[in-house]
Chain A
Amino acid sequence: MIQTAFVAVSEEAVLASLGTVTDPELDESLVELGFLDSVRIEDEGCVEVVLRLPTFWCAPNFAYLMALDARAVTLKVSGVHQVRVVLKDHMYSDEISTGISAGLPFDEVFPGQADGEDVGELRTLFHGKAFGMRQEQLARFLLDAGLTADEVVALRLDDVLDTSNASGLRLQVGGQPRLVRGGAPLARAYLERRSRVGLNSGGSGALFTTVEGTSIAAAELAEYLQCGRRQRISMTFNAVMCKGLLETRYDLSKGDAE
Chain B
Amino acid sequence: MYRTADGEEIFIVDGHVHFWDGSPANQRNRYAEGWVECFYNYHKNLSPAEYVWPLEQYQKYSESQMMKDLFDEGYVDVAIFQPTYLRDFFTNGWNTTEQDAVIKAKYPDKFILNSAWDPRDEEAGLREFEDKVKRYNIKGVKLYTAEWKGDSRGYKLSDPWARKYFDKCVDLGVNNIHIHKGPTIWPFNKDAFDVGDVDDAATMYRDAGLNFIVEHCGLPRVEDFCWIAAQEPNVYGGLAVVMPFIHASPHYFAEVMAEMLWWLGPDRLLFSSDYALWSPKWIIDKFMAFEFPQDILDKRAVTLTLEDKKKILGLNAAKLYELEVPTKAGFQVAVPA
Chain B residue contacts of A167, Cβ below 8 A: none
Chain A residue contacts of B259, Cβ below 8 A: 229-230, 233
Least Cβ–Cβ distance between B224 and chain A, in angstroms: 8
Interface string of B33-47 (1 = CB under 8 A from A): 011011001101110
Which of B31, B41, B153 has its CB near the most chain A CB atoms (within 10 A)?
B41
Are B45 and A129 in contact, with the CB atoms below 8 A? Answer: no
Interchain CA distance A61-B154 in the complex, whole Å: 15
**B247-255, B266-274, B305-313: which lies at the A interface?**
B247-255
Known: A107-B189, A114-B188. A234 touches B45 (CB 8 A): no
Chain B residue contacts of A106, Cβ below 8 A: 188-189
Are A59 and B183 in contact, with the CB atoms below 8 A? Answer: yes
Interchain CA distance A119-B189 in the complex, whole Å: 5
Are B189 and A57 in contact, with the CB atoms below 8 A? Answer: no
User: B187 at interface (Cβ–Cβ under 8 A)?
Assistant: yes
**A43-51, A66-74, A199-207, A243-251: which lies at the B interface?**
A243-251
A109 nearest in chain B by CB position:
B188
Are A234 and B222 in contact, with the CB atoms below 8 A? Answer: yes
Chain B residue contacts of A245, Cβ below 8 A: 41-42, 45
User: B103 at interface (Cβ–Cβ under 8 A)?
Assistant: no
Least Cβ–Cβ distance between A151 and chain B, in angstroms: 20
Known: A230-B259, A244-B46. A122 touches B252 (CB 8 A): no
Q: Which of A57, A231, A247 contacts B38 (CB 8 A)?
A: A57
Are B31 and A240 in contact, with the CB atoms below 8 A? Answer: no
B185 nearest in chain A by CB position:
A59
Known: A57-B182, A244-B46, A248-B41. A114 touches B187 (CB 8 A): yes
A-side interface mostly = helix
B221 nearest in chain A by CB position:
A234
Are A233 and B255 in contact, with the CB atoms below 8 A? Answer: yes
Q: Which of B184, B190, B222, B245 contacts A230 (CB 8 A)?
A: B222
A-B contact count (CB 8 A): 104
Known: A112-B151, A247-B45, A248-B45. A238 touches B219 (CB 8 A): yes
B-side interface mostly = helix
Which of A110, A117, A119, A233 has its CB near the most chain B CB atoms (within 10 A)?
A233
Chain B residue contacts of A240, Cβ below 8 A: 245, 249, 252
Interchain CA distance A121-B188 in the complex, whole Å: 12
B186 nearest in chain A by CB position:
A113
User: A237 at interface (Cβ–Cβ under 8 A)?
Assistant: yes
Least Cβ–Cβ distance between B69 and chain A, in angstroms: 21
Interchain CA distance A237-B249 in the complex, whole Å: 9
Least Cβ–Cβ distance between A126 and chain B, in angstroms: 8
Least Cβ–Cβ distance between B300 and chain A, in angstroms: 9
Known: A122-B190, A240-B249, A247-B45. A56 touches B37 (CB 8 A): yes
User: A13 at interface (Cβ–Cβ under 8 A)?
Assistant: no
Chain A residue contacts of B249, Cβ below 8 A: 240, 244
User: B126 at interface (Cβ–Cβ under 8 A)?
Assistant: no
Least Cβ–Cβ distance between A213 and chain B, in angstroms: 21
Q: Which of A119, A125, A244 contacts B45 (CB 8 A)?
A: A244
Known: A56-B34, A56-B37, A59-B193. A113 touches B188 (CB 8 A): yes
Least Cβ–Cβ distance between A35 and chain B, in angstroms: 15
Chain B residue contacts of A236, Cβ below 8 A: 252, 255
User: B220 at interface (Cβ–Cβ under 8 A)?
Assistant: yes
Chain B contacts with A in 169-195, Cβ cutoff 8 A:
182-184, 186-193
Chain B residue contacts of A54, Cβ below 8 A: 41
B220 nearest in chain A by CB position:
A238
Interchain CA distance A122-B46 in the complex, whole Å: 30
Are A234 and B189 in contact, with the CB atoms below 8 A? Answer: no
Interchain CA distance A241-B252 in the complex, whole Å: 10
Chain B residue contacts of A56, Cβ below 8 A: 34-35, 37-38
Interface string of A212-233 (1 = CB under 8 A from B): 0000000000000000011101
User: B227 at interface (Cβ–Cβ under 8 A)?
Assistant: yes
Interchain CA distance A117-B189 in the complex, whole Å: 7
Least Cβ–Cβ distance between B314 and chain A, in angstroms: 25
Chain B residue contacts of A114, Cβ below 8 A: 187-189
Are A57 and B45 in contact, with the CB atoms below 8 A? Answer: no
User: B256 at interface (Cβ–Cβ under 8 A)?
Assistant: yes
User: A115 at interface (Cβ–Cβ under 8 A)?
Assistant: yes
User: A25 at interface (Cβ–Cβ under 8 A)?
Assistant: yes
Are B42 and A115 in contact, with the CB atoms below 8 A? Answer: no
Add 15 more A-B contacts to A119-B189, A122-B191 (CB < 8 A). A54-B41, A55-B38, A61-B190, A91-B31, A107-B189, A113-B186, A115-B189, A117-B187, A117-B189, A229-B259, A233-B255, A234-B220, A241-B245, A244-B46, A244-B248
Between-chain CB contacts (< 8 Å), 12 pairs: A56-B35, A59-B193, A60-B183, A106-B189, A117-B190, A118-B189, A230-B259, A233-B259, A234-B220, A236-B252, A237-B219, A241-B220
10 smallest A-B Cβ distances: which pairs?
A56-B34, A230-B223, A115-B187, A234-B223, A248-B45, A114-B189, A234-B222, A59-B183, A238-B220, A113-B188
B interface residue numbers (CB < 8 A to A): 31, 34-35, 37-38, 41-42, 44-46, 151, 153, 182-184, 186-193, 219-223, 226-227, 245, 248-249, 252, 255-256, 259
